[in-house]
């Protein structure tokens, strides 16, 4: 399926946007891990009878500051079921390549997977992760939109780890000196980026505009803020070639053409954008909430956080975050389930916020007075997450994102007009969506979790 879709969206585009080096790095990393822990199909280790034992936790290497004490605490309590973190590359696209390479090989090297919320459908449809019992988790205490991203065909295949919504970071000290308020509209953002920023030796606005998933997010936010959409509500028809989407893309293109979005940001992924803002080079930054943890002890004096602006008022963020899933090839699924329960408990969710600034999925934490005093942006973040819109929930999302950021990048570079980029995006996305409308899972029969096979533990063996 993946190779068929790739052919549909054109080999030339794929070769240009997903360089061979990316795949090579992923495969080399996979080979290195398999040397230590993978087994051949013929020689896979037999899972323990109760599904308990030592496990691994695959997570992006940019998510680790909060994780070390959380894993240490678990390991101290459960020495026989110790967790080892396996850190994936920072870029989401490369993480996906590495995960897919292992899961397609049915490798047991990963037990619990911390995956982008947009991957749930693809992983579930391909049988790479197992359905989870909803009764084992307090889903009613979680942010509803986060829970929705963890389901596929109305079944729970993952559990929300943290949620996310893009925010507008700004230099509070500079706007105060200039007697200006943070922008709530695109016109205000443009004005401040063009006039106030250069007056204080700064560039205007930074986002994640490199050719990767971050650009898909920025494009989606601009389109949504202008009242447009990429797909219809059922994710079955492409709707991106619209006047509203054109207004959103044109806003970004004009920013580069007019110079208040510097061309250097066309190379920025999350870390580069964050570092440029922290080093005092930009007045504004569109990024995720975890940036706050890196801004220093006096962050509230120098920096401020606001909702993303839109054409006539507050804009719309893309719903981000990560979900926790259990590999279908894990040898210790019982321990994996217990570890996910542990990660989503109040104490661990609070630690993730305090040490990493990752937005928790437990709604009660957003209303904790001690936390709102320490993180004054929490009410703004909570509203941004509640109003954020999810990216397309389709089984071929990685190919859809490839098309979206590829066509958007060509428009930002001036290689295509915004109108032509959207027309081409409409055609290519239509082929991608059609290719992914028949989910493989529909032909796989009963849920894997209740399948009492040699590589799947019975549901009754799960310990809580």
**Tens digits of residue pLDDT in 399-431:** 999 999 999 999 999 999 999 999 999 999 999
Helices first, then strands: H and E counts in the chain: 19, 11
Mean predicted confidence (pLDDT) in 158-180: 97
Q: What is the pLDDT of residue 65?
A: 81
Looking at the structure, do residues 258 and 401 belong to the same domain, yes or no?
yes
DSSP string spanning 285-320?
EEE-GGGGGGS-TTHHHHEEEEPPBBSSSB--PBEE
Q: What is the pLDDT of residue 298?
A: 79
Looking at the structure, do residues 307 and 334 belong to the same domain, yes or no?
no
- Taking the C-alpha atoms of residue 268 and residue 272, their distance in angstroms, rounded to an integer, is 5
Looking at the structure, do residues 407 and 377 belong to the same domain, yes or no?
no
Q: What is the pLDDT of residue 448?
A: 33
Q: Which residue has the higher pLDDT, 262 or 30?
A: 262
Confidence label for 31 from pLDDT (cuts 50, 70 and 90):
very low
Looking at the structure, do residues 203 and 296 belong to the same domain, yes or no?
yes
Q: What is the pLDDT of residue 138?
A: 95
Instruction: Tokens for 16, please give them.
Output: 């240009």
Looking at the structure, do residues 285 and 369 belong to the same domain, yes or no?
no
Among 29-38, 213-222, 387-396, 455-464, the range with the most confident prediction by mean pLDDT is 213-222
Q: What is the pLDDT of residue 64?
A: 77
Mean predicted confidence (pLDDT) in 31-51: 45
Structural domain including 231 reads 165-319+394-435
Q: What is the pLDDT of residue 61?
A: 87
Examine residue 79 and state whether it is found in any structural domain, yes or no: yes
Q: Which residue has the higher pLDDT, 293 or 166?
A: 166
Looking at the structure, do residues 73 and 158 belong to the same domain, yes or no?
yes
Looking at the structure, do residues 220 and 280 belong to the same domain, yes or no?
yes
Looking at the structure, do residues 420 and 271 belong to the same domain, yes or no?
yes
Q: What is the pLDDT of residue 293?
A: 84
Q: What is the pLDDT of residue 48?
A: 54
User: The domain that contains 143 carries what CATH number?
Assistant: 3.40.190.10
What pTM was estimated for this model as a whole? 0.80
- Taking the C-alpha atoms of residue 363 and residue 379, their distance in angstroms, rounded to an integer, is 11
pLDDT at 47 over 90: no
Looking at the structure, do residues 368 and 299 belong to the same domain, yes or no?
no
Looking at the structure, do residues 269 and 331 belong to the same domain, yes or no?
no
Which distant-in-sequence residues (6+ apart) come within 8 Å of 166 by Cβ? Answer: 217, 221, 286, 287, 288, 308, 317, 318, 320, 384, 388
Q: Where are the alpha helices (DSSP H) in 128-199?
A: 144-149, 172-177, 186-199
Q: Which residue has the higher pLDDT, 209 or 395?
A: 209
Best CA proximity match to 25, nearest among 89, 81, 74: 89
Q: Is the dihedral of CA 359, 360, 363, 364 positive or negative?
A: negative
**Phi, psi (rounded to 5 degrees) for 286:** -100, 115
Instruction: Tokens for 218, please give them.
Output: 């920025």
pLDDT at 453 over 70: no
- Overall number of domains in the chain: 2
pLDDT at 393 over 90: no
Confidence label for 300 from pLDDT (cuts 50, 70 and 90):
confident
C-beta separation of 119 from 146 below 8 A:
no
Question: How far apart, in Å, are the Cα atoms of 98 and each of 33, 59, 93, 104, 400?
Answer: 11, 11, 9, 10, 18
Looking at the structure, do residues 207 and 280 belong to the same domain, yes or no?
yes
Looking at the structure, do residues 153 and 218 belong to the same domain, yes or no?
no
Examine residue 212 and state whether it is found in any structural domain, yes or no: yes
């Amino acid at each position: 399926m993946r190779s068929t879709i790739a052919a549909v969206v054109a080999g030339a585009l794929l070769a240009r946007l997903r360089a061979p080096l990316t795949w090579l790095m992923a495969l080399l990393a996979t080979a290195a891990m398999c040397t230590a822990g993978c087994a051949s199909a013929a020689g896979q280790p037999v899972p323990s009878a109760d599904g308990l034992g030592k496990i691994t936790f695959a997570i992006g290497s940019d998510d680790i500051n909060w994780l070390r004490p959380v894993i240490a605490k678990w390991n101290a309590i459960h020495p026989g079921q110790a967790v080892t973190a396996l850190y994936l590359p920072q870029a989401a696209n490369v993480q996906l390549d590495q995960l897919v390479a292992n899961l397609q090989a049915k490798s047991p090297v990963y037990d619990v997977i911390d995956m982008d919320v947009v991957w749930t459908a693809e992983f579930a449809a391909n049988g790479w992760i197992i359905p989870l019992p909803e009764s084992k988790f307090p889903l009613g205490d979680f942010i509803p939109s986060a829970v929705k991203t963890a389901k596929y065909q109305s079944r729970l295949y993952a559990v929300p780890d943290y949620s996310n919504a893009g925010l507008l970071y700004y230099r509070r000290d500079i706007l105060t000196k200039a007697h200006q308020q943070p922008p709530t509209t695109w016109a205000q953002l443009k004005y401040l980026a063009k006039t106030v920023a250069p007056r204080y030796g700064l560039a205007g606005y930074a986002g994640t505009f490199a050719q990767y998933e971050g650009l898909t997010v920025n494009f989606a936010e601009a389109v949504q803020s202008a009242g447009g959409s990429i797909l219809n509500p059922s994710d079955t028809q492409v709707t991106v070639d619209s006047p509203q989407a054109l207004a959103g893309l044109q806003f970004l293109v004009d920013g580069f053409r007019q110079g208040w979005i510097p061309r250097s940001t066309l190379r920025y992924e999350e870390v580069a954008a964050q570092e440029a803002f922290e080093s005092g080079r930009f007045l504004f930054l569109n990024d995720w909430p975890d940036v706050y943890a890196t801004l220093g002890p006096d962050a509230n004096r120098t920096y401020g956080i606001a909702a993303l602006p839109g054409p006539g008022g507050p804009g719309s963020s893309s719903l981000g975050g990560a979900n926790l899933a259990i590999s279908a090839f894990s040898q210790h699924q019982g321990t994996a389930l217990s570890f996910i329960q542990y990660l989503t408990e109040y104490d661990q969710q609070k630690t993730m916020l305090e040490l990493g600034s990752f937005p928790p999925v437990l709604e009660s934490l957003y209303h904790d007075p001690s936390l709102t005093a320490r993180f004054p942006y929490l009410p703004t973040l909570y509203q941004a997450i509640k109003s954020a819109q999810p990216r397309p929930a389709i089984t071929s999302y990685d190919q859809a994102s490839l098309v979206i950021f590829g066509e958007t990048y060509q428009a930002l570079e001036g290689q295509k007009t915004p109108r032509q980029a959207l027309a081409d995006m409409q055609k290519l996305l239509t082929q991608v969506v059609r290719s992914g409308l028949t989910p493989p899972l529909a032909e796989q029969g009963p849920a894997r979790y209740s399948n009492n096979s040699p590589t799947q533990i019975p549901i009754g063996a799960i310990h809580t």
